[in-house]
A and B are shown apart, each in its own frame.
Chain A
Amino acid sequence: MILEAPFTEAKIRALKAGDLVEITGRLYTGRDAVHKYLHDGGKPPVDLTDSIIYHCGPVVVKEGGKWVVKAAGPTTSIREEPYQGPLMEQYKIRGVIGKGGMGPKTLAACKKVGACYFHAIGGAAQVLAKRVAGVNGVHLMEFGSPEAVWEFDVVKFPAVVTMDSHGTSLHEAVEGASAARLAKILG
């Protein structure tokens, strides 16, 4: 499935857990330091309305005066669980891309706001960096390069919807099924 900017509520509501999507448009990276900063009341350096946040600490180097993305896979999202839901609600963030899934607070916010959790393949830093067509800018560099807000213009960025805006989480399902199997093995 194709998901193109602008990321409207209607487009996001149409997505279901399990959908494979290719995202085209602008993503803003943001991870631990940025989420804490925003949650503590820090001013967003970009307009987050209808945005998609990418949990990513990329390797970016300057070559010939231009930013070049050397590696850009997702980081583990669950660390943002305390902040993600409230920030989604406050800024009408329409989606986050990360890995490993998130918890019930974020799932509830996805349902309320009309947002999705997109699971990119962890460790696939080259496949995903290749889909970054350009770097439009960078903010909050004082947090260090991996923790800064990078503006990535991506083309056909691949991800799986694992938490949708209708209350379904594939992570909950796998965790439940594996817990039942574990209990059986242990007797």
Chain B
Amino acid sequence: MDAKTLQARLLELIRRTSCELPPDMIRAVDQARRKEKKGTTARYALDVMTDNIKLAGELSQPLCQDTGTIICYVDRPLWLRESVFAKAFEKAIVEATQKGYLRQNSVDSITGKNSGDNLGPGSPVLHFHETTAKSATVRLMLKGGGCENVGIQYTLPDVGLGAGRDLAGVRRCVLDAVHRAQGKGCGPGVLGVCVGGDRGTGTMAAKEQFFRTLDDENPDKTLAKLEKQLLKEANSLGIGPMGFGGETTLFGVKMTARNRVPASFFVTVSYMCWSYRRNGVTLSEAGRVGRWIYDDGSKR
């Protein structure tokens, strides 16, 4: 695949990710909307979200003006070089910014200067993994700052929460995170949770959960059960869409675990807003699109 083709494919991936909500999330918003009584503020919020999803798709404009941190995971066959991908991706990002698919969103933390093109130290975030598959798989997440800000990392035991070093303690942490977030993370949201790891890998693994679909089943039976329980309990808090009060506070809880050293026991909670921007595509060596990996044949 030549660099120009790769750039064009990645621009389209950025456009779709920024402007189109994934099918599993569209269904979740619709189901939540039906649960809220007409005339309530919660129903109003979900009605506006529904209109917004439709409008963004039609206009090919960003679902949310905060087009977030650009986080990209690449499963890379040997024919695709990291440096070639990174260069093409950067060019696609600059183009996407000029077209308004992405906001000028990269600020120098020392000088406060906005780079204007979304490039700079730490932007974009790229993770490469070598694969023996023939095609490359590129997954993209645009994670807004509002929901990122309500993410939190706990260290067990936590005396204030009465949380010990066990799954009961993990549960207390997760529910505390939901309560602290209230509507500030643009709920109904999805939680990515990592039990264990160190501070860095815990955060990364928590965020990687957002590449899972809402309706998937955790292969770990203990975590699968805990995910369901925590979702139910979180929704019983009544925080509701945007924190207006209501039936749906979360659309999902997705958990994973990493080994830890004996001294550390972290519980890391990452929050993804309802404007859940993730997409992915497979690309052949000839530069053709194989498939959009989150498309499930349902109508937009």
Chain A, range 114-170, C-beta contacts under 8 Å to B: 119, 121-127, 129-130, 143-147, 158, 160, 162, 170
Choice from B55, B59, B104 contacting A145 with Cβ under 8 Å = B104
**Given A99-B186, A99-B242, residue A121 in contact with residue B113 (CB < 8 A):** no
Q: How far is the CB of B250 from chain A (nearest CB, A)?
A: 12
Residues of B within 8 A of A33 (CB): 112
Seen from chain A, the residues whose Cβ lies within 8 Å of a Cβ on chain B are 18, 20, 33, 56-59, 61, 68, 70-73, 75-76, 78, 99-101, 119, 121-127, 129-130, 143-147, 158, 160, 162, 170-171, 173-175, 177-179, 181-182, 185-186
Contact A185 B182 (CB under 8 A): no
Chain B interface: which size bin? 35 or more
Please name 28 pairs of A and B residues whose Cβ atoms are closer than 8 Å in the assembled complex, sorted by A. Answer: A20-B44, A33-B112, A59-B61, A70-B65, A70-B100, A75-B146, A76-B184, A99-B146, A100-B186, A100-B243, A119-B242, A123-B144, A123-B275, A125-B52, A125-B56, A125-B65, A127-B52, A144-B114, A158-B48, A170-B245, A173-B245, A174-B182, A174-B240, A178-B179, A181-B236, A181-B237, A182-B176, A182-B179
Choice from A125, A170, A182 contacting B62 with Cβ under 8 Å = A125
The count of A-to-B residue pairs whose CB atoms sit within 8 angstroms is 168
Q: A70-B61, A174-B240 are in contact. List 18 more A-B contacts (CB 8 A).
A: A58-B103, A70-B100, A71-B64, A75-B66, A101-B183, A121-B49, A121-B242, A123-B273, A125-B62, A127-B51, A143-B114, A146-B105, A173-B245, A174-B239, A178-B238, A178-B239, A181-B237, A185-B236
Choice from A59, A127, A146, A178 contacting B55 with Cβ under 8 Å = A127
- Report Cα–Cα, A33/B114, bound state, in Å: 12
- Interface presence of B98 (CB below 8 A): yes
**Given A101-B243, A178-B182, A182-B237, residue A70 in contact with residue B48 (CB < 8 A):** no
